[in-house]
């Protein structure tokens, strides 16, 4: 008993501190949880004390003993005897949580020596990483503390993550920990746009681009075409001209300054991506695309719901910006006009979880410039909604913003040309 008490002294001390000074109960319950306790009897005491506290009843050894039974009285006395001072409860709690992690890692290590398949091994390794992950307790801030922090933060200019398009960056205020969805119809250019955004962001932070379909070599082809302005067809046919090779050699250093890693991830789950992002230190993660991720569920709605919730949690817990590409529903594909949030394929959970939703689609309006794409902000927790018009040059896989007034001139010119054509084809109607 003495040896066991020594190894579990932190657990005993946490309960002992609570019994000696019930005033710490609120903070203690916010910083700890049942799973932090290895010994079942101490978990029982902790759970009973928390229930009493939540009901607003007086919390002391008498009320706890009445809730769990007289047989626990020796254990309660032992906890108070082990605890030297209630004021050190935070140190006891941290020690308890650390020893719990170590104990669970040892259990997982024993199981790892007995695995029969690589899949079992991956699951145990994922569990081990989860066990060692830092779990943040509830953040409790008073109004006075909040105002002090507010005043301090306002003295420095905040920098948000830029996407590389000034009109979009003026609307979105993305930061690490956000979950952004880039949705689109087939052939709109989602992957090309995502790669252009990723290479731009890679100048500031390390980016992981996880593709569940396309191989890294094909993604490199698109990046080279985009960054060095080289004909995409020439690259695919391996028929680059001497001038294009010269331009690539000249821009090679500038291109490789972007810290981006391309990860071929067919059949991966959210946990697989999380494990890789942690090990590779990715601060920004692109996923192409969301619906191809693997997740549990009896139907597609449940599967996509679990994927969306997993990506949202990953972004928040790990302080990673997650940008996930998504397909629109087939109903949206068959319908002309602007897409909406309800067109997100297979799950309304995506709309709920995302901090921002961007929709990319071709502008089918008669007066629209050729090859124009609309990047519409459908949801934005921190900024404005609206549309950003982009010109897409598929020959070099590049999206470009219009200069001020440029689009208006193109639209007006196109309207005049159509009007003149109508006059020529039907002179009487024009009179």
DSSP one-letter string for 127-173: HHHHHHSPPP------HHHHHHHHHHHTTS---PPP-S-HHHHTT--
Domain covering 2-132 in this structure, CATH number: 1.10.860.10
Position 239 scores a pLDDT of 93
Task: Look over the chain and give the mean of its residue pLDDT values, rounded to a whole number.
Answer: 84
Give the mean model confidence (pLDDT) for residues 326-346. 74
Alpha-carbon span 290 to 268, nearest angstrom:
11
Alpha-carbon span 174 to 222, nearest angstrom:
25
Instruction: Give residue 414's pLDDT band: very low, low, confident or very high (50, 70, 90).
Output: low
CB 328 within 8 A of CB 345: yes
Residue 238: CB atoms within 10 Å: 7
Residues for the chain: how many in total? 431
Position 1 scores a pLDDT of 38
CB 94 within 8 A of CB 81: no
User: Scanning the structure block, which residue is given the tokens 């019930």?
Assistant: 22
The string of DSSP codes covering 62-107 is HHHHHHH-GGGHHHHHHHHHH-S-GGGHHHHHHHHHHHHHHHHHHH
Q: What is the 3-state secondary structure (H, E, C) of 359-400?
A: EEEECCCCCCCCCEEEEEEEEECCCCCEEEEEEEECCCCEEE
SS3 label, residue 309 = helix
My answer on whether omega of the bond before 383 falls inside 30° of 0, hence cis, is: no
Q: Where are the domains of the chain?
A: 2-132, 166-342+391-416
Give the mean model confidence (pLDDT) for residues 277-303. 89
294: which strand partners? 269
Both tokens of 320, joined, read: 């990673």
Pick the more confident residue, 409 or 279.
279
Instruction: Give residue 327's pLDDT band: very low, low, confident or very high (50, 70, 90).
Output: confident
Instruction: Give residue 413's pLDDT band: very low, low, confident or very high (50, 70, 90).
Output: low
342 phi/psi in degrees, rounded to 5: -70, -10
Both tokens of 8, joined, read: 């579990």
pLDDT exceeds cutoff 90 at 311: yes
> Which of these ranges, 1-15, 183-197, 211-225, has the smallest mean pLDDT?
1-15
Position 210 scores a pLDDT of 95
> Which of these ranges, 118-122, 258-262, 410-414, has the smallest mean pLDDT?
410-414
326: which strand partners? 183
Instruction: Give residue 6's pLDDT band: very low, low, confident or very high (50, 70, 90).
Output: very low
Name the CATH code of domain 166-342+391-416 (choices 3.30.70.100, 3.30.9.10, 3.40.50.300, 3.40.50.10300). Answer: 3.40.50.300
> Which of these ranges, 93-97, 307-311, 406-410, has the smallest mean pLDDT?
406-410
Both tokens of 204, joined, read: 């500031």
Alpha-carbon span 412 to 247, nearest angstrom:
35
CB 297 within 8 A of CB 342: no
Alpha-carbon span 76 to 42, nearest angstrom:
9
158 CB-near residues (< 8 Å, 6+ apart) = none
> Which of these ranges, 70-84, 164-178, 287-301, 404-418, has the smallest mean pLDDT?
404-418
């Amino acid at each position: 008993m003495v040896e066991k008490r020594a190894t579990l002294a932190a657990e005993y001390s946490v309960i002992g501190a609570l019994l000696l000074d019930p005033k710490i109960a609120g903070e203690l319950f916010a910083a700890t949880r049942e799973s932090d306790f290895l010994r079942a009897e101490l978990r029982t005491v902790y759970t009973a004390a928390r229930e009493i506290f939540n009901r607003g009843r007086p919390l002391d050894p008498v009320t706890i003993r009445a809730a769990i039974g007289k047989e626990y009285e020796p254990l309660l006395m032992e906890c108070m005897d082990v605890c030297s001072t209630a004021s050190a409860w935070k140190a006891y709690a941290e020690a308890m949580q650390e020893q719990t992690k170590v104990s669970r890692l040892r259990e997982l290590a024993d199981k790892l020596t007995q695995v029969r398949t690589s899949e079992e091994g991956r699951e145990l390794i994922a569990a081990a990483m989860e066990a060692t992950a830092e779990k943040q307790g509830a953040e409790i801030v008073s109004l006075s503390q909040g105002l002090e922090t507010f005043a301090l933060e306002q003295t420095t200019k905040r920098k948000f993550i830029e996407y590389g398009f000034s009109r979009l960056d003026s609307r979105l205020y993305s930061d690490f920990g956000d979950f952004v969805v880039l949705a689109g119809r087939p052939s709109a250019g989602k992957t090309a746009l995502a790669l252009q955004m990723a290479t731009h962001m890679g100048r500031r932070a390390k980016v992981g681009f996880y593709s569940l379909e396309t191989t890294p070599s094909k993604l490199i082809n698109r990046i080279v075409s985009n960054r060095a302005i080289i004909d995409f067809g020439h690259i695919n046919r391996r028929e680059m001209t001497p001038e294009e090779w010269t331009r690539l050699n000249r821009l090679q250093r500038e291109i490789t300054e972007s810290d981006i890693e391309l990860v071929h991830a067919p059949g991966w789950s959210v946990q697989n991506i999380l494990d890789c992002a942690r090990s590779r230190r990715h601060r920004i993660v692109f996923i192409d695309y969301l619906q191809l991720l693997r997740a549990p569920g009896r139907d597609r709605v449940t599967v996509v719901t679990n994927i969306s919730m997993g990506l949202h949690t990953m972004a928040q817990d790990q302080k990673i910006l997650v940008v996930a590409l998504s397909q629109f529903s087939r109903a949206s594909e068959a319908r002309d006009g602007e897409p909406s949030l309800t067109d997100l394929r297979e799950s309304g959970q995506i709309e709920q979880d995302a901090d921002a939703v961007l929709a990319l689609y071709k502008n089918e309006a008669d007066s629209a410039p050729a090859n124009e794409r609309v990047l519409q902000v459908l949801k934005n927790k921190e900024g404005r909604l609206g549309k950003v018009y982009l010109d897409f040059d598929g020959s070099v896989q590049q999206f470009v913003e219009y200069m001020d007034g440029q689009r208006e001139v193109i639209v007006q010119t196109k309207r005049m040309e159509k009007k003149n054509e109508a006059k020529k084809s039907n002179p009487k109607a024009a009179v």
